[in-house]
Amino acid sequence: MTRFSRWAGIALAIGLIAICAIGGGSARVDVTSLLIVRSAAVLTAAAMMLLPRERGGHGGRAVLWFLSILSLWMIAQAIPLPPAIWLSLPGHERFGDAAAAAGIAQPWRPISVTPDLTLSALADLVVPVAVALSVEAVRPRDQHWILAAILAFGILSCLVGVVQVATGGLHYYIYHHLGATGLFANRNHQGAFLALCLPLLAVWRVEGTRHLPMLARNVLASAAAALFVVMIVVGGSRAGLLLGAIGAVGFVALATGSATGARIKRRWIIAAAVVLACVAVLVLFGRATALDRLFATGSIEGEARFDHTPLVVRIIRDFMPFGSGFGSFDPVFRIYEPDNFLNPGYFNHAHNDYLELVLTGGVPGALIFAGFGIYVVRRLLPRNWSAREPADGALWRRASALALAILLLHSGVDYPLRVPSLAAVATCLVIWCLMPYKRRMKSTDRLPKVGGSPDRVVLAR
């Protein structure tokens, strides 16, 4: 790999993450900036395939295989089928009755009841594909540049959130939550993203630029962690608050795990106390929106995301085992929605990505995700994630796994992975979880042999 191709690959990966951060903060299919994000992803993927590069690890290739299999199922859902086959699919009968009532011949139709939205969901995969190609091409020792780009994304999102709270403006998505949403349209996605940035800060503290002394990295990491925690509390997301607590504990545990001596650990305890003091000040001045919403009477009971779950389960049963088609949740839910659920708003997603995956992707879609999840866990535990690994490799894996777990936990009550910018970050996390790291050499591996015998060694003095 030449010097130009090395830095070009790093620049392309960082540039794609930056474009996703600025224009990919909404999960709606009608967001104009999504055209720019997808176009940038296509150009980045093409450029990475043309650039000469070293053979990377298995992480990026595993992600590409997973996305390829998922794409094939999406394409299969959009292929028109003969009327006799299509009418026999569970959940599709009512659409056949509509054609009969109109007095027209039954047309050929695909498994997906909304093939245009399924193709749009297929187009969404271009972002993780491009990220996988670019991150895979970056050498392991250069991955800290991508890590720094993600953390810079988090800091910029916090600063935008500060301006939003101070002025009540700077929300550039038409449909958005009020308050500190940062570079996202949804405060919950902002909260989940800042929560996952916390354990990644511990990695940057060790693997950040070598031009900064450790004291400076400790100060910057502590300041960034305090900023993330404060903005999570101000943002108003209850899920983000709980996930932020997990991320903060992970940050302290990972940051102090390699510390030797009570003095160093005492410094981190003091830093944690400062963060708690900042949160206490927010509570006193009435800016702890997330805490207010968490402890508000009736804040959880009666929420639409929980009230609608039984109906979502019923729709799943009706469309089993092939699903209604990726991207079809909103139109299908409107068909089943009872009168007492009607209101000026609409239920755009199930707010439980696991249920929505089974509803739209059917059993094949669920098996594809489950199979890849099992593969990632088997690669992580226990053989490839042990104490015998070098400290940097173990830290990368543990922080990435915790950050990915935060996103997966949030998927149980929301849809973070449908946001292009979070999908890009999740792709990086999966690759880092699967990235191979060289183990330390055993002491006997470094001992010189004597007398030509492979079994005799001399102990080093």
- 393 falls within a domain: yes
Which pLDDT does position 386 carry in this prediction?
52
pLDDT at 157 over 90: yes
- The string over 92-121, giving b where at least 16 C-beta atoms fall within 10 Å of a residue's C-beta and e elsewhere, is beeebeeeeeeeeeeeebbbbbbbebbbeb
Which pLDDT does position 455 carry in this prediction?
38
358: its two tokens: 């089974």
Contact 60, 132 (CB under 8 A): yes
Q: Which of 169-173, 245-249, 445-449 has the lowest mean pLDDT?
A: 445-449
181: its two tokens: 């949403």
363: its two tokens: 């059993």
Rounded-to-integer distance, Cα 235 and Cα 182, Å? 9
- 318 falls within a domain: no
- 283 falls within a domain: yes
Which pLDDT does position 99 carry in this prediction?
78
User: What is the pTM for the complete model shown?
Assistant: 0.86
Which pLDDT does position 100 carry in this prediction?
77
- The string over 48-87, giving b where at least 16 C-beta atoms fall within 10 Å of a residue's C-beta and e elsewhere, is beebebeebbebbbbbbebbeebeebbeebbeebeeeebb
Residue with tokens 């994000």, as numbered in its chain: 37
- Number of separate domains in the chain: 1
pLDDT digits (tens, 9 = 90+) for 200-221: 998 888 776 667 777 788 888 8
Radius of gyration of the chain (CA): 25
Contact 279, 230 (CB under 8 A): yes
| Residue among 35, 20, 2 nearest 128 (CA) | 20
Which pLDDT does position 90 carry in this prediction?
92
- 95 falls within a domain: yes
Angle at 197 between CA 425 and CA 326, to 5 degrees: 35
Rounded-to-integer distance, Cα 358 and Cα 276, Å? 40
Give 16's contacts (C-beta < 8 A, 6+ positions apart).
40, 41, 44, 130, 131, 134, 424
pLDDT digits (tens, 9 = 90+) for 108-150: 999 999 999 999 999 999 999 999 999 988 888 888 899 999 9
Contact 317, 256 (CB under 8 A): no
- 457 falls within a domain: no
| Residue among 37, 56, 74 nearest 368 (CA) | 74
Which pLDDT does position 15 carry in this prediction?
95
Rounded-to-integer distance, Cα 223 and Cα 226, Å? 5
**In angstroms, how far apart are the furthest CA atoms of the chain?**
94
pLDDT at 342 over 80: no
Position 398: which residue type?
R
- 326 falls within a domain: no
Position 171: which residue type?
H
- 217 falls within a domain: yes
pLDDT higher at 391 or 65 = 65
Rounded-to-integer distance, Cα 76 and Cα 323, Å? 12
Range of the domain at 386: 3-303+342-444
Rounded-to-integer distance, Cα 94 and Cα 83, Å? 13
Q: How confident is the model at residue 273 (pLDDT cuts 50, 70, 90)?
A: low
Residue with tokens 């981190």, as numbered in its chain: 268
Rounded-to-integer distance, Cα 32 and Cα 352, Å? 26
| Residue among 65, 25, 183, 33 nearest 430 (CA) | 65
pLDDT digits (tens, 9 = 90+) for 178-202: 778 889 998 899 999 999 999 999 8
| Residue among 328, 296, 304 nearest 315 (CA) | 328
Terminal CA-to-CA distance of the chain, rounded, Å? 40
